[in-house]
Structure 1
Amino acid sequence: MDYHRQFHREAIERGIPEDEVSRFAEFLRFAIWTSERPGGVPVGRSGGLPRLPVGMEWPSSEHGPLPFVASFDCAALPRVDGLALPADGSLLLFLHHEWAHDTYSVADEQKFARVVYVPAGADTATAEEPDHDEDMFCNMELDFVGREYDLFATVNAELPSWFEDDDEPSRSGNQEHLALDLAHVKELRALVGELWPESNGPAVSLGGYSMGIGELATDNMYTTPETTMAEDILEARQKAGELVVPPDEWALRLEEEALRVMREWVPLAQFDPEDVYLARFLIRHDDLAAGRFDKALSFTAFTE
């Protein structure tokens, strides 16, 4: 289904100018939300033991095997624009969120996170639980093999966080690049909520926008992997002498660079390993389209 076309048609019928609708729609994304609540399409399973290709060892790090999070049947997943998932086969997620976060380094974190793609038709078998320490997590309530349950999928509309903030007077800077200057932004935001009422949060979401950790990177943007990458890019360019950003322009340039990064990367999967952690796998659009899942990056965050 063409969700963007549906939104565009409804907005035009309500008399909102087409140029505003088109600009706003550039920021409208659709994500696949999965949970154990029946009512959607059955698409995968969380917890339990994964089905791995015959002969493949359980994904591990130098500290031990990585906990299995979830698997998805790509053929069963809904299709949404901007998320070029494989037409078939399976996606498996592995992550030790505590080891990943404790590195405090995106590069080092990748040793403790893995996305495995299993092509359709591959011979697979349910893996045996690997040997591991009993105290795999600081949180003693967590088991290495998580509770097993089916995942059902629905499609949800998502907008960036700056559209959800009603405290407009606190915003500063040039807002045209964020489309906050649109005269009908509140009506367009309300239409999104009307067409796609938000349900309870997902166990695992695919696509959409990156979850932030609750702190502001600028007056308009919360800190996400994209703002972090954008900041690293700007700082590297300044250090190399390629760019000079006056202090009073830093927030604006950071937002513009973050928007560029957001167009290049997409959240492949996001979930809460436990209450105070966020797990986020991001991948470039071209790597996703080419099936290069080894290029996905993990950005685990602690929220307290």
Structure 2
Amino acid sequence: MDYHQHFRRAAIERGIPGDEVSKFAEFLRFAIWASGRANGVPVGRSGGLPRLPVGMGWPSSEYGPLPFVASLDCAALPRVDGLALPADGSLLLFLHHEWAYDTCSIADEQKFARIVYVPAGTDTATAEEPDHDEEMFCNLTLDFVGREYDLFATVNAELPSWFEDDDEASQSDGQEHLARNLAHRKELCALVRDLWPEGNGADVCLGGYSMGIGELATDNMYTTPETRMAENILEAREKAGELVVPPDEWHLRLEEEALRVMREWVPLVQFEPGDEVYHARFLIRHDDLSAGRFDKALSFTAFTE
């Protein structure tokens, strides 16, 4: 199904000008939401023990094996624009969220996160639970092998937070680059919710927008991996003498750079790793995703309290 075309057709039928619909649609994304509720198509399993390629060891770090999160069947996953998943094969997710969060850099965090792609037709076997410390997590209620259950997926529409924020006092200058000045913005937001009513959330989400952690990076944008990357890029360019940003323009330039980063990267998968105070996110460049370079995905684990 062409979800964007479905939205455009419905919006134009309501009398909204086509150029405004097209501008709005640039910010409309579709995500695959998977959960244990059997109200979608079966797409994988959460928890339990993974099926690894025969001869492959359990993904580990220098501190020990990485907890297995979920397996996803690429052939069963719905297709959405902007998320060039493999046509078949499986994605296996591994993450020790506490070790990942405790690192001091994005580079160091990757030691504790892994995405394994298993091509279709690969000989696999259910892995045995590896040796590990009994107290694997600071949160002692968490088990190394999580509860196993089936995942079912539906497609949901997502908009950036600034589209639906009606707090005019929080708006900064230069809203054009955020498309906040569209005459029919509220009507278009309402149409999205009519066509794709919000569900009850997801255990695993693929695509869409990166979830913010409740902290504002600018007057409009919550802190996400994209705003962090954008800030690092601007600071590096300033240090190299390539760019000078007046203090009163910093938020505006950060928002513009974050939007550029968001066009280059996509949230491959997001989930809460068995602990409601953490949020796990793997991002990947569109070209790396299309080429199946899952080793290029970056983990960004956030603490939400």
What is the identity, as a one-letter code, of the residue corresponding to 2:109?
A: E
Partner Cα separation in structure 2 for residue 129 and residue 2 of structure 1: 42
Residues 186-201 of structure 1 aligned to structure 2 (within 5 Å): 186-201=186-201
Q: What's the counterpart of residue 2 of structure 1? A: 2
TM-score (norm 1): 0.99
Match of 1:275 in 2: 276
- What number of residue pairs does the alignment pair up? 304
1:220 aligns with 2:220: yes
- Write the letter of the residue equivalent to 1:280: R
Task: Name the CA distance, whole Å, in 2 between partners of 1:59 and 1:170.
Answer: 44
Output the CA distance in 2 between the equivalents of 1:219 and 1:82. Answer: 27
Deviation at 1:168, TM superposition (A): 2.1
Deviation string, structure 1 residues 259-294 (Cα, Å, up to 9, x no partner): 000000000000011110000000000000000000
Partners of 1:3 and 1:23 in 2: how far apart? Answer: 16
Letter in 2 for 1:291: G
Matches within 5 A, 1:19-168: 19-168=19-168
Q: Secondary structure at the match of 1:117?
A: strand
- Cα distance in 1, alignment partners of residues 249 and 105 from structure 2: 27
User: Could you tell me how far 1:170 is from its partner in structure 2?
Assistant: 2.3
The structural deviation recorded for 1:169 is: 3.0
Letter in 2 for 1:164: E
Q: Name structure 1 gaps, 5 residues minimum.
A: none
How high is the TM-score relative to the length of structure 2? 0.99
Instruction: State the alpha-carbon separation in 2 of the partners of residues 107 and 192 from structure 1.
Output: 37
Write the distance in 2 (CA, Å) between the matches of 1:33 and 1:164: 20
**AA partner of residue 94 (structure 2):** F
Inter-partner Cα distance in structure 2 for 1:14 and 1:104: 50
Per-residue Cα deviation, 1:185-228 (whole angstroms, up to 9, x for no partner): 00000000000000001000000000111011111100000000
Q: Corresponding residue for 2:244?
A: 244
**Displacement after TM superposition at 1:97 (Å):** 0.0
CA distance in 2, matches of 1:66, 1:173: 45
Q: What is the letter of the counterpart of residue 165 of structure 1?
A: D
* Structure 2 gaps, min length 5: none
Regions of 4+ moved over 4 Å: none
- Share of identical aligned residues, percent? 85
- What's the offset of the Cα at 1:104? 2.7
Give the CA deviation at 1:163. 1.1
Q: Which residue of 1 aligns with 2:303?
A: 302
| Deviation of 1:166 (Å) | 1.7
Are the equivalent residues in 1 in contact too, given 2:23–2:179 (CA < 8 A)?
A: yes
RMSD (Å) for aligned C-alpha atoms = 0.5
SS at match of 1:144: coil
